Structure 1
Amino acid sequence: MGASGADDTLESHGIDMGRRTGPLAQFREWVLVNGNRSLIAASISLLVFVLFLGLHAIGVISFTNDGSVTRLASGMIAGTFSLVTLVVSINQLILSQEFASANDARDQLEGIIDIRNDIAVQSKVPASPAAPTKLLELLIETIAAHATALADTDDTDRNELLRKFTNSIDASTDRTHETLEHTTFGTFTAVSTAIAYDAAWQLYVARQLRERDGASLSSEAVAELEGLINALKLFITAREHFKTTYLQRELTRFSQLTLYCGVPAILAAMTIGLLYGGFSGATIGGTYLPYVVSGLIAVVVSPLALLASYILRTAAVTRRTASIGPMLPQKEPEAGPFEVSYGDDVD
């Protein structure tokens, strides 16, 4: 697949993931989407530790008042219990999607087999790959093959919009295929790459070209447009299935990590209260007390940090993929080369 120049009017107008420019925008994208969730959670906890030490150093807060610290510890214990309960509820919601009767399970299996058979037929292979990334790669290759065959027809010489469309597909499939080739499913790179590929926009343009210019196109070009439309539909279907599967795994992993951190967080909150349980105040000297209490507070907020890091990503992915098919809420009304009004198709 060799990339060619794309036209601005046929550039992606839908999902925008991983294409930010500028240091601040790239950092924001890393925090929201691309960054390792555990690393971001650990960074939030570390930031809390440094923040409390800094506030103590400049005299804004103090760790010498037994009553205030004890009340804080009690509130942290109650808050951590509530957070763990919330996570358990999320985990139960995810598990509820896995429960199915024999008939439901059979229907779901038959549906997946049918889609895989359709992919195999469309891609002209004996059977579709089992690995999700390989399956997405195969669909990208199929889309690129139909676009190349469409570009090789004589119609592209007469239809400038068709030529620009095939050039745009060639460039975008090249980038996506190169990224998918070096990733594995289970890493967010594979999912974000598949999401960033604007199959919905390409499907919209392909359908517009077929309906508007179908009468003036050769039978070969119309057949390739039909094949391209079918390949894009299969790609969108497979991508949504894999995105849902990944998000289920992501939320399950989040539930596990929150439970792992929940017990240490509760113990840390209890320790803060016990440090001030003596009649003479804190049992640790004033020199080390700010470091110990700040460190324990950082442990207490670790479940909340995990919640923030994982929900940021799932919310960003869900918002950017809120529609299926050529319904693009992110697209500007004036974007793109097609404008229609009532009665345009009437002779």
Structure 2
Amino acid sequence: MGSAETDETLESYGADVGTREGVATRFREWFLIRGNRLGVAAIVSVAVFVIVVGLYELGVVSFTNPNSVTRVASGMIAGTFSLVTLVVSVNQLILSQEFTTANKARDRFDGVVEFRRNVATEAGIPTAPAAPTRVLELIIETIRHDAVTLADIVSDHDEEVRHRVLQYTNSVEERAEEVSETLDKAGISTFSAVSAAIHYDEAWQLYVATHLRNDYADSLSPAATDQLEELIGSLKLFNVAREQFKTTYLQRELTRFSQLTIYCGVPSILSAILIGLLYANVTGPSINVAVLPYVVSVLIVVVLSPLALLVSYILRTATVTHRTASVGPMIPQKDPDEGPFDVTYGEER
């Protein structure tokens, strides 16, 4: 396959790793991924308050009609009950995954032990670290070392093979160093590991490595082929580690979200009831009309606090899931025309 005829790079066509330029881009990443979820929920709540007060100041909405306000309050009570019920259902679904038989629990435990043993074997250490970020850091260092070793081995190969493989290994080294720096600055939590891992496009690197191994099977020396297999194995380990940490993170994140929603549910319902009671007097609102819009706006923010939590948590879990949707070298995020490889049926014949 005329791979050397193209100058297209073998570097990742995937996630951007490293410094992100632009205030808007950095804020989007913070809002979707990196930011504390309670902080994001607070921003959403403040935005709701500003919008409601702003609409009042502009004369778009009014708080003087008791019938309209009480209808809105009744709707918010019903909506809050529905949201809390939905969250409780999600929590029960998560808990159901934890109910298992002894055999399944043993298989799950043995799988984790086997994975840690493979990581330790690949890295040449007695045992793998316990912290998720340190495990990923160790695998990334193993990937980088495998790429450097492969580059050294192919230094005496013919120019076409050497050029093609060095393109790939240089890209792997660069990406590995960038992710390693990110992990060095990260904490030891599961989310820190997931946050760093979603920016590493190991699926594309695995695809390219597999293609190079098969395309140059007759040109690579046995040592180079073995080293390429080592690199492929390390990339597979990274993919397994990321999926394991992602699953653990999502379970803990959704459980935490369920807890916070229950905590906010009671104040939310009480605030909606209080809005209705403010207009219960037949003579009109029971507080000064001058401060009434601001009091009602604050109560509306409290009523919508479970929704703000839903927005903040679902944005992050959905973004994490979307960015890690690939399974091995099957990459649904890629455009069909991306990449330097163009294959046709029966080409090897």
Q: TM-score, normalised by structure 2?
A: 0.93
Q: How far has the Cα of 1:20 moved from its partner?
A: 5.4
Match of 1:221 among 219, 224, 227: 224
- Structure 1 residues 114-125: aligned runs within 5 Å: 114-125=114-125
Residue number in structure 1 paired with 2:64: 64
Residue number in structure 2 paired with 1:180: 183
Count the aligned residue pairs.
340
Give the secondary structure class of the aligned counterpart of 1:196.
coil
**Deviation per CA, 1:195-238, whole angstroms, max 9, x where unpaired?**
21111111111111111112211222111101001111111011
Match of 2:246 among 243, 246, 253: 243
Asked whether the equivalents of residues 155 and 217 of structure 1 are also in contact (C-alpha less than 8 Å), the reply is: no
1:329 paired with 2:335, answer: no
Residue number in structure 2 paired with 1:231: 234
Structure 1 letter corresponding to 2:219: S
For residues 59 and 20 of structure 1, the distance between their equivalents in structure 2, rounded to whole angstroms, comes to 41
**Deviation per CA, 1:84-117, whole angstroms, max 9, x where unpaired?**
0011011111111111011110011111111111
| Identical positions, percent | 59
Asked whether the equivalents of residues 87 and 258 of structure 1 are also in contact (C-alpha less than 8 Å), the reply is: yes
Residue number in structure 2 paired with 1:4: none
Q: How far has the Cα of 1:277 moved from its partner?
A: 1.2
Give the secondary structure class of the aligned counterpart of 1:286.
coil
**Deviation per CA, 1:61-103, whole angstroms, max 9, x where unpaired?**
1111111111111111111111100110111111111110111
Match of 2:343 among 340, 344, 347: 340
1:136 paired with 2:136, answer: yes
Structure 2 CA distance for partners of 1:45 and 1:18, relative to 1, 3 Å = farther
Asked whether the equivalents of residues 198 and 324 of structure 2 are also in contact (C-alpha less than 8 Å), the reply is: yes
Structure 2 CA distance for partners of 1:18 and 1:318, relative to 1, 3 Å = farther
For residues 93 and 37 of structure 1, the distance between their equivalents in structure 2, rounded to whole angstroms, comes to 22
The CA RMSD measured in Å over matched residues stands at 1.8
Q: How far has the Cα of 1:187 moved from its partner?
A: 6.1
Structure 1 letter corresponding to 2:199: A
Asked whether the equivalents of residues 133 and 192 of structure 2 are also in contact (C-alpha less than 8 Å), the reply is: no
Give the secondary structure class of the aligned counterpart of 1:116.
helix
Q: How far has the Cα of 1:193 moved from its partner?
A: 1.1
Residue number in structure 2 paired with 1:44: 44
**Deviation per CA, 1:14-36, whole angstroms, max 9, x where unpaired?**
34578754333333333222222
1:203 paired with 2:197, answer: no
**Deviation per CA, 1:224-279, whole angstroms, max 9, x where unpaired?**
10100111111101110001111111111111111111111111111111111112
Q: Any stretches of 5+ residues in structure 1 without a counterpart?
A: 1-6
For residues 133 and 301 of structure 1, the distance between their equivalents in structure 2, rounded to whole angstroms, comes to 35
For residues 324 and 64 of structure 1, the distance between their equivalents in structure 2, rounded to whole angstroms, comes to 57
Give the secondary structure class of the aligned counterpart of 2:276.
helix
For residues 107 and 190 of structure 2, the distance between their equivalents in structure 1, rounded to whole angstroms, comes to 29
1:101 paired with 2:104, answer: no
**Deviation per CA, 1:127-169, whole angstroms, max 9, x where unpaired?**
1111111111111111011111111122467321101111101
Q: Any stretches of 5+ residues in structure 2 without a counterpart?
A: 1-6
Give the secondary structure class of the aligned counterpart of 1:343.
coil
Asked whether the equivalents of residues 55 and 61 of structure 1 are also in contact (C-alpha less than 8 Å), the reply is: yes
Structure 1 letter corresponding to 2:330: M
For structure 1, which segment, 113-122 or 186-195, has the greater mean C-alpha deviation from structure 2 after superposition?
186-195
Structure 2 CA distance for partners of 1:165 and 1:105, relative to 1, 3 Å = same
Residue number in structure 2 paired with 1:3: none
For residues 217 and 270 of structure 2, the distance between their equivalents in structure 1, rounded to whole angstroms, comes to 69
Q: TM-score, normalised by structure 1?
A: 0.93
Structure 2 CA distance for partners of 1:206 and 1:98, relative to 1, 3 Å = same
For residues 299 and 18 of structure 2, the distance between their equivalents in structure 1, rounded to whole angstroms, comes to 36
Structure 1 letter corresponding to 2:79: G
Structure 2 letter corresponding to 1:265: S
Give the secondary structure class of the aligned counterpart of 1:10.
coil
Residue number in structure 2 paired with 1:78: 78
For residues 134 and 189 of structure 2, the distance between their equivalents in structure 1, rounded to whole angstroms, comes to 13
Give the secondary structure class of the aligned counterpart of 2:166.
helix
Structure 1 letter corresponding to 2:45: S
Structure 2 letter corresponding to 1:259: I
1:264 paired with 2:261, answer: no
Q: How far has the Cα of 1:336 moved from its partner?
A: 2.0
Give the secondary structure class of the aligned counterpart of 2:308.
helix
For residues 206 and 187 of structure 1, the distance between their equivalents in structure 2, rounded to whole angstroms, comes to 28
Structure 2 letter corresponding to 1:99: F
Residue number in structure 2 paired with 1:14: 14
